[in-house]
Every structure is written in structure tokens, then in C-alpha cells.
Structure 1
Amino acid sequence: MFLFIHGFTSSSQSRKAQVLKKWLSDQGRKEEWLCPDLSIDPTEAMQQLSSIIEESAQQEGKPIKLVGSSLGGFYATILSARYGLKAVLINPAVTAGLTLRRGIGFHKAWHSEEQLEFTQAHVDALNEMTLLSPANPYRLFVMLERGDETLDWKTAAAFYQDCHQLVFCGGDHGFTRFDDVLEMIDRF
């Protein structure tokens, strides 16, 4: 089971979420894909994700593997530590509160016309969630593109230095090589 965790103001309609969904569906595994539309409120988003993980743990079957992009990578890092799950992090945010403090205000959702308000309270919640270092680094696989125009790939490479890493030259924050790494994500 894959729990795809989208980034800031994104949704289950994000390109990477849909590519993973199609890839699994093409293999007859469409039931292995989950991607909730998360609240912009970090506390609510983490509650949504925790509920999914805890409900899944009560059911028989394969354990959940987290796949988080950007802010979703930040959340996946925390959830991996909390629940002992493997996580693949795509251009993850390391200090999300620090990064997103300049984003206080209203934002149009990426895949709808909805206006989302991001507040200082949200920044504070992200700062409180920030880990000093990754727990159980062997459970984390970090994929970075050096051309990320939103987050500094070197910050993530240093923070996740003891984790599995794959770093590509070029690319961008959307992670242009996502289609090419699906089998590695599956095998991790």
C-alpha cells in the first residue's frame, strides 16, 4: 500500500500522485494507492494521515509505504519516525515552518479554485513538528534534483545524510524524473 502525501496547496490530482496511481493501476494494483486531499492546516493534515495509517494497521495486508513530495516529504519523515514505516521523500522540505513563513496569506489551490489561508499559527505548528534529525534513517529513501528552484537540495542532502539518497543533476521542484524512479520506489 502506498500513501502518497502531496505538497503545499496541492492535492490528490498532483502529477506525481496521478502517475503513481496509473503505474499501479497498469499493474493491476490500483487498490494499493491512497492520496488524501490534505488540509492546509498542518495539525489537521497530520491527523488525517495518522488516522489513515492507524486504520490500515488494523487491517491485514501489506504495510503502508509513504511517498511524500516537498511538504509531503516533511510529513512523511515525521510519520516514518512515529509509526516505523518506510518512506520515499521527493525533494522534501526539511524545515517547513522556516521555508513557508514567507507564504503566510491566501493561496489558490493548485487543482481547484479554492482559496486557502496559511497563517502564522500554521507556521508555528510546522516549527513544533520539525525533527532535529531523521529517526531510523535506513527506512528513508531521499530523491533530490539539484535544479529544485523552491528548496535547496543541499539542505536536504545534509539533513538526510545517513539515509538512502539518489541525487540527480538538473530537474526542478516537481521532480522531472519521477516516472523513471517508480520501480525503485516500489522495491524500496
Structure 2
Amino acid sequence: NPAVAPYSLLKPLLGLNYNPYQDYHYELNNSHIAALKALAVDDLKHPELLYLLQQTGDEVLNFQHAVNYYSQCKQRVEFGGDHSYLGFEQTFASIVDFLKIT
């Protein structure tokens, strides 16, 4: 599930933070957000090379942002699900078909 504009999601996290998985303290500041924003791609050069797999029940990201951003790409949008993409294994055949793997 792609974060179309991840820099806009990080503003509430500015300041000191803690990563409990790595037991690590760090500070997120505006320069980090600016660096991430500088990586943003406004226009997809080859949308035919991208395949969006999206579920509408994503509780972390607004699925409609990805659907709109990747509107020129092949899409598989499923009702329900969540951010972990429930039933991902059911997409393998469509991925193989998209990649034209034989």
C-alpha cells in the first residue's frame, strides 16, 4: 500500500521519537521531511510498468490517494482488507500475468 505523499504524514511526528523495535531514540525534523519531499515524483514516466494492489480497508493510508495517483496504471482494488493486504497470496497469478512470467 503506497504512501503517495509520505512527507505529509510525518508532520505530527516531528521532534523526538522512539523506535521500540530497535530500542533507538531519534529526532525527526523538517530537513528530513524536505529530503523526502524532494524525492517525490509528480508525473509517472512509464505508468504501464506499475501495478497497484490496493485494499479499501487500509486503516493507515487513504486508499483513494493511491488509486488517484496511479490512475494510469494497472490496478487491482479490493473492497475491505487492511494495511497488511489480506489475502495477498491470492494476487500471485495476476502479478505473474502482469510481469509476463512464464
Classify the TM-score, shorter chain: 0.7 to 0.9
Pairing of 1:55-134 with structure 2 (within 5 A): 91-105=1-15, 106-108=17-19, 111-134=21-44
Q: Structure 2: how far apart are the matches of 1:159 and 1:140?
A: 12
| C-alpha distance in 2 between matches for 1:103 and 1:174 | 22
| Residue 146 of structure 1: aligned partner | 56
> Structure 1 or 2: larger helix share?
1
Q: Which structure ranks higher in relative contact order (CA pairs < 8 Å, sequence separation ≥ 6)?
A: 2
**Matches of 2:30 and 2:18, distance apart in 1:** 14
Question: CA–CA distance in 1 between the matches of 2:36 and 2:79?
Answer: 29
Q: Is the 8 A contact 1:141 1:164 kept in 2?
A: yes
Partner secondary structure for residue 142 of structure 1: strand
Cα distance in 1, alignment partners of residues 10 and 92 from structure 2: 28
Question: Which residue in the other structure is 2:77 paired with?
Answer: 167
Asked if 2 retains the 8 angstrom alpha-carbon contact of 1:107 and 1:116, the reply is yes
**In 2, Cα distance between the equivalents of 1:136 and 1:147?**
28
Change (3 A) 1:163 1:124: same
CA-based RMSD of the aligned residues comes to: 1.9
Under a length normalisation based on structure 2, what TM-score does the superposition of the two structures give? 0.80
Pick aligned residue for 1:155 from 35, 60, 65? 65
* Cα distance, 1:131 vs structure 2: 1.4
Give the secondary-structure state (helix, strand or coil) at the position aligned to 2:35. Answer: helix
Unaligned segments of structure 1, at least 5 residues: 1-90
SS at match of 1:176: coil
User: Residues 35-82 of structure 1, C-alpha deviation per residue, up to 9 Å, x if partnerless?
Assistant: xxxxxxxxxxxxxxxxxxxxxxxxxxxxxxxxxxxxxxxxxxxxxxxx
* Conservation of the 8 A alpha-carbon contact between 1:145 and 1:153: yes
In 2, Cα distance between the equivalents of 1:119 and 1:167?
A: 34
Q: Cα distance, 1:166 vs. partner?
A: 0.5
Deviation at 1:130, TM superposition (A): 1.1
Q: TM-score, normalised by structure 1?
A: 0.46
